[in-house]
Amino acid sequence: MNPVDLAIELGLPVAVLAVWTAVYLTARLLTRPVTPSAAPASMELPGPESPAVVSLLVNRWSITVDAAESTLLDLAARGYLELRQAGPDPRDSTVHPTGRSDGLNSYERQVLDRVTERAVGGVVPLTALAFADEKRAANWSGSLGRAVIAEARQRGLTRRRFPRSLATALGVLGGIAGLGVAAGAYHYLSRTGDTDRWEGVAVAFFVTTTILSTVAGRNMGERDTPQGRAVAARWLGLRGWLAGHEAFADLPPAAVTVWGRYLPYGAALGVTRVASQVVHLGLADRSRLWSAYGGTWRQVDVSYPHTLPRYGQSLGWPAVRALGAVGFGWSLLGVVGPALLGGESTTATDPGEDLLGRWLTPWRHLPDLDPVTLGVMLVGLALLGYAGYTMIRVFVDLSTPATVSGEVIWHQMWRFTTPENSSERIPVNYYLVIDDGRSDRTRAWILPKEIAGQCELGDVVSARVRRWTRRVKKVTVLRAARRVPAVVEAPTGTPTAANLGAETLLTVDELGAAVGRQVRPDRTAGHVKDKRFGYANFNDLAGRSAVSVSVVHGRSGRLIMVIGKGTGQPLPTPQGDEAYLARDRVVGRRGDVVVMLQPGQGVTATQLAGLLPVALARAADQSAARTP
């Protein structure tokens, strides 16, 4: 094979494929979604976009678990669902459909249908909404994501990362690349006298074009638009404002009764730690974990090892594979290659010289090599390169072990074996994610089953690790996780001390006179059992919600007042420090105590304004009586 043959049969296909690859990678680079800089922090809800759409915009135009979580909370804020917390642990929350289903879009109805499907007797535990079947969970989340993207596209906030015109252009370029590969195949088959050369040319063209067109046409996700960037910047401004209030991150899902749509939008923006941990709709995202190690709550991005065989293995196995690659690669270069070339390479009698001579012979005749022999030689050379790289990494990993210290924020089985005729899963190794508190990014290590029981979620540990294989050699617990004691729940229908305080701020006669119909306390389920937060709901005789009374102490109350001040108009406060009237609430503060009254069905906030001074005075008296 002369240089011209080599250029046509090998150089031409490589060149056209390289050009296509360069164009494709350039297109991916130029169409990466851009996250805009946040607008100035503001408490105003900056637009009509749903929390799910907002989640798409602020997460680099990709669907995350926040879309489903925030939609569920938004349905509760808008009255389609009720969230009630029956114990001090937010995981004890339950969801109650209210019977409303009007005015919902497709993905909101999908979330509501999931709650309705799981509800028994009109109630379902919040933690029971997750899917047991992984395939069904994936289909459900995929359907929800497509619906959210469709709405965002309709609003002009997002677009296909690869538009059809770009995909078509890459497909056409793939066809041109296919012609180049076919030309190389035709030249080779003609030179070797193959009678079926046209069949080989057709196969080369079809396979190349099909592969490249498929790669170009696959869904690359979404990217930004000018309008989408502007909208995302405004919502990032709200995130900055919410993130500045530490109490907001600790709110449980049931607090949506008090906070309204601020809580679902906070979940969409990634600043509701407690609520986001509790709400789970089969969309768990282990690549974004919450951690408070280091003093402040934040989300940590985690990279996980995938399918490379070295991950989790002791260093002996990569070394064995490297030795095998050396033997196989040396055989291809020193035996198979010269045999394909034909003839003896050297007359030396020394075995070492003979082997070296046979190894060098094909490279001396490089212009005369046919594609098959050249391919064999390149494979052999690649195997030797792999073996050299592997042995260097094994040596470095062996000589430079590392120590990682921090809190265990994820501990779960990774690989397992299943015995024959059994569904039991026997662990082989585990994921171990350690947050050192210094970065918002970390990696998952592989913990062998022999030492997997030496640490648990929440422990602060020091781990001896191999960086290249990500294998954990030793784990030392520096501080054990704090165990949550068992909680004895109050009987259903019995209000807690905090909720009883909220219930006694106003009498049923006072409330009935204000709303124009007889009311009574709703004690069908418990609510948030937190000394800082009291909540009571009053229904009319038909069972419809008439008035909700909330009393909040401390920082959470001050944040409610900030929201009330920004969205309402001032009211006279003869017995309070400040009060405001908004469309959906009346809120006032006296000292560190905040009282909020929210109207129910057929009631306006104006009807409740006259009751606020009375409730504030009684709440302040109750707080003073409890203070030692």
Domain(s) labelled CATH 2.40.50 in the chain stretch across 401-479
Q: Report how far Cα 394 is from the mean position of its chain's Cα atoms.
A: 33
Q: How far is it, in rounded angstroms, from Cα 517 to Cα 520? A: 10
Specify the pairing of strand 298-303 against strand 441-448. parallel
pLDDT at 19: 95
Q: Tell me what the mean pLDDT of segment 452-470 comes to.
A: 89
- 597 touches 564 (CB < 8 A): no
pLDDT at 491: 39
pLDDT at 557: 73
Higher pLDDT, 281 or 549: 549
Q: In the predicted model, is pLDDT for residue 333 greater than 80? A: no
pLDDT at 494: 46
What is the per-residue pLDDT across 239-272, written as a single tens digit (0 to 9) for each?
999 988 777 888 889 888 888 899 999 999 989 9
Read off the pLDDT band of 488 (50, 70, 90): very low
What is the per-residue pLDDT across 196-210, written as a single tens digit (0 to 9) for each?
778 888 999 999 999
Q: In the predicted model, is pLDDT for residue 391 greater than 90? A: yes
Q: Tell me what the mean pLDDT of segment 404-416 comes to.
A: 84
Q: How far is it, in rounded angstroms, from Cα 18 to Cα 57? A: 34
- 593 touches 551 (CB < 8 A): yes
Q: How far is it, in rounded angstroms, from Cα 537 to Cα 549? A: 6
CA atoms within 13 A on the CB side of 41: 7
Cα-Cα-Cα-Cα dihedral sign, residues 282, 287, 293, 295: negative
- 116 touches 559 (CB < 8 A): no
Higher pLDDT, 497 or 589: 589
pTM: 0.63
pLDDT at 342: 60
Question: In DSSP terms, which residues pair with 224 in a beta bridge?
Answer: 158
Q: In the predicted model, is pLDDT for residue 536 greater than 50? A: yes
pLDDT at 530: 55
pLDDT at 440: 81
Using left for φ > 0, alpha for ψ between -120 and 50, and beta otherwise, residue 443 falls in beta
Structure tokens at 435: 């947050």
What is the per-residue pLDDT across 569-597, written as a single tens digit (0 to 9) for each?
887 765 567 888 888 888 888 888 888 88
Instruction: Collapse the DSSP code of 132 into the 3-class scheme (helix H, G, I; strand E, B; otherwise coil) and give the result.
Output: coil
Read off the pLDDT band of 351 (50, 70, 90): very low
What is the per-residue pLDDT across 17-69, written as a single tens digit (0 to 9) for each?
999 999 999 999 999 998 899 999 988 899 999 999 999 999 989 998 889 99
Higher pLDDT, 534 or 360: 534
What is the per-residue pLDDT across 602-617, written as a single tens digit (0 to 9) for each?
888 888 888 888 888 8
Specify the pairing of strand 569-570 against strand 93-97. unpaired
Q: Which residues have a Cβ under 8 Å from the Cβ of 521 and sit 6 or more positions away? A: 495, 503, 508, 536, 537, 538
Q: In the predicted model, is pLDDT for residue 562 greater than 60? A: yes
- 98 touches 543 (CB < 8 A): no
Identify which of 80-84, 156-160, 457-461 has the greatest average pLDDT: 156-160
Q: How many CB atoms lie within 10 A of CB 419?
A: 9
* Average pLDDT taken over every residue of the chain: 82
Read off the pLDDT band of 352 (50, 70, 90): very low
Q: How far is it, in rounded angstroms, from Cα 458 to Cα 438? A: 17
Higher pLDDT, 438 or 368: 438
Domain(s) labelled CATH 3.40.1000 in the chain stretch across 497-626
What is the per-residue pLDDT across 74-110, written as a single tens digit (0 to 9) for each?
999 999 999 988 777 788 788 999 988 899 999 999 9
CATH tag, 497-626: 3.40.1000
Above pLDDT 90, what percent of the chain?
Answer: 31
**CATH class of the 401-479 domain in this structure:** mainly beta
